[in-house]
């Protein structure tokens, strides 16, 4: 899918990553590719990242300027996709 189909959709920065993630096969039981991509993404952007033996990924980002002492936020999701 990484063919530029979403190149004119706004915000372009978000959809660039959506298109990349959508191009990675990730059916249930086949999460290594997406897990490794997320680890690489986090490292590239200077974020703290943990990947466990089950390929779960935790990425930690600091609070934005002015919000450094605010309570943390957790966003949880799953990496696999049901292909039926």
pLDDT of residue 8: 72
Instruction: State the Cα–Cα distance between residues 30 and 81, nearest whole angstrom.
Output: 9
Widest pairwise Cα distance in the chain: 45
Q: How far is CA 8 from CA 23, 30, 38, 67, in A?
A: 18, 30, 24, 32
What pLDDT shows up at residue 30?
93
* Rounded CA separation 37/20 (Å): 10
**Tens-digit pLDDT profile for residues 32-54:** 999 999 999 999 999 999 999 99
Per-residue confidence (pLDDT) for residue 16, from 0 to 100: 86
Regions of the chain with pLDDT less than 70: 1-7
Please, which residues have CB within 8 angstroms of residue 2's CB and are 6 or more apart in sequence? Answer: 19, 20, 22, 23
């Amino acid at each position: 899918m990484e063919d530029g189909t979403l190149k004119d959709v706004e915000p372009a920065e978000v959809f660039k990553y959506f298109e990349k993630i959508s191009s990675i096969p990730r059916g249930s039981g086949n999460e290594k590719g997406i897990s490794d991509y997320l680890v690489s993404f986090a490292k590239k952007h200077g974020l703290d990242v943990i990947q466990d033996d089950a390929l779960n990924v935790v990425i930690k980002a600091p609070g934005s300027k002015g919000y450094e002492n605010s309570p943390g936020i957790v966003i949880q999701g799953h990496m696999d996709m049901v292909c039926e």
